[in-house]
């Protein structure tokens, strides 16, 4: 009867080693490194939609270019990793993606209700963000919106953008108390109002102050609804309760 001995880990050459589904880096252990890497790729892909608007507003390229060569590949990457997560049993990642796919569009729809009221009733917004995104992505800024550009713009805003931000919540923070998603949404709103996006909306200044206080009030109220819906839905989902670092990192 033979026995198998494990190699000693005291040697400097053994500071980095795999142990089953764990990767040991000295005193630090990464649980399921393959799932962690896949999660990082999904999070990077999730950032493409909001960042391409910032990049276009800053003059680093067109939305049409970014959508063709960055956004579409990013969507494909997320779909492929979703399949891999299901195949390999990466439950935290798989359930987090599914939760984001449900909560993201619903939370963004709630945001749009507030934004539409601010725009149509109180004239606190310079225009429709989804329509603007649609004409920029379809390269119709000079011609104006049509049915196709509206479909693209609303699809990018409600589905891609909404799911993207929600993926950050579900995959990084896990399942938290519902109200904690509201300050998360306020952070998104703040970055939006201090970003180059303000130039794309008519050069209305930081926090949209050139339009008066109504713009900032509308944006924060809209994102409060986004965070409340996001938090309520994901707090009842089957995503893991632990944070990303709590799930994958051990000392």
Residue 237 pLDDT:
85
Residue 203 pLDDT:
86
**Whole-angstrom Cα distance, residue 44 to residue 66?**
15
Contact 182, 111 (CB under 8 A): no
Residue 206 pLDDT:
92
Local confidence band at 251 (pLDDT 50, 70, 90 cut-offs) = confident
Residue 2 inside a domain? The answer is no
**Whole-angstrom Cα distance, residue 161 to residue 182?**
17
C-alpha count within 13 angstroms, C-beta hemisphere, residue 222 = 26
Average pLDDT, the chain: 90
Which residue has 């944070």 as its token pair? 243
Residue 15 inside a domain? The answer is no
Local confidence band at 128 (pLDDT 50, 70, 90 cut-offs) = confident
Residue 6 pLDDT:
43
**Whole-angstrom Cα distance, residue 32 to residue 84?**
14
| C-alpha torsion angle, residues 108, 171, 180, 184 (rounded to 10) | -60
Tokens in use for 176?
A: 């938290």
Work out the average pLDDT over 9-23. Answer: 53
Tokens in use for 66?
A: 């970014």
Residue 21 pLDDT:
80
Per-residue pLDDT of 213-231, as tens digits, reads 999 999 999 999 999 999 9
Question: Taking 90 as the threshold, does the pLDDT of residue 90 lie above it?
Answer: yes
Per-residue pLDDT of 144-194, as tens digits, reads 999 999 999 999 999 999 999 999 999 999 999 999 999 999 999 999 999
DSSP string of 207-248, one letter each residue: GGGGG-HHHHHHHHHHHHHHHHHHHHHHTTSSS-SS-HHHHH
Question: Taking 70 as the threshold, does the pLDDT of residue 5 lie above it?
Answer: no
Torsion sign, CA atoms 217, 101, 47, 54: negative
Full domain range(s) for residue 102: 22-248
Buried b or exposed e, range 25-64, using 16+ CB within 10 angstroms:
eeeeebbbeebbebbeebbebbebbbbbbebbbeeeebbb
Residue 58 inside a domain? The answer is yes
Per-residue pLDDT of 19-76, as tens digits, reads 448 888 888 999 999 999 999 999 999 999 999 999 999 999 999 999 999 999 999 9
Local confidence band at 239 (pLDDT 50, 70, 90 cut-offs) = confident
- Which residue pairs from 199-202 have beta carbons closer than 8 angstroms and sit at least 24 positions apart in sequence? 199/57, 199/58, 200/53, 200/56, 200/57, 200/132, 201/126, 201/127, 201/132, 202/126, 202/127
Residue 217 pLDDT:
96
Report how many domains make up the chain: 1
Residue 84 pLDDT:
97
Residue 78 pLDDT:
98
Question: Taking 90 as the threshold, does the pLDDT of residue 15 lie above it?
Answer: no
Tokens in use for 29?
A: 């252990």
Per-residue pLDDT of 200-217, as tens digits, reads 888 899 999 999 999 999
Question: Taking 70 as the threshold, does the pLDDT of residue 17 lie above it?
Answer: no
CB neighbourhood size of 167 (10 A): 24
């Amino acid at each position: 009867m033979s026995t198998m001995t494990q190699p000693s880990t005291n040697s400097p050459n053994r500071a980095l080693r795999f142990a089953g589904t764990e990767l040991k880096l000295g005193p630090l252990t990464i649980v399921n490194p393959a799932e962690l890497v896949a999660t990082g790729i999904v999070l990077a892909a999730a950032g493409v939609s909001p960042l391409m608007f910032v990049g276009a507003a800053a003059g680093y390229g067109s939305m049409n270019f970014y959508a063709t060569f960055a956004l579409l590949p990013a969507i494909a990457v997320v779909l492929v990793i979703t399949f891999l997560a299901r195949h390999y049993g990466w439950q935290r990642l798989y359930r987090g993606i599914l939760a984001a796919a449900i909560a993201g569009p619903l939370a963004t729809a709630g945001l749009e209700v507030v934004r539409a009221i601010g725009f149509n009733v109180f004239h606190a917004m310079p225009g429709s963000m989804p329509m603007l995104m649609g004409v920029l992505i379809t390269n119709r800024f000079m011609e104006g919106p049509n049915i196709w550009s509206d479909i693209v713009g609303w699809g990018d805003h409600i589905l891609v953008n909404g799911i993207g931000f929600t993926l950050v919540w579900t995959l990084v923070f896990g399942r938290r108390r519902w109200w904690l998603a509201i300050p998360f949404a306020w952070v998104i709103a703040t970055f939006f109002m201090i970003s180059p996006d303000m130039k794309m909306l008519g050069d209305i200044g930081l926090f949209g102050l050139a339009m008066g206080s109504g713009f900032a009030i509308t944006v924060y109220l809209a994102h409060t609804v986004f965070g409340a819906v996001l938090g309520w839905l994901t707090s009842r989902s089957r995503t893991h309760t632990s944070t990303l670092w709590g799930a994958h990192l051990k000392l």
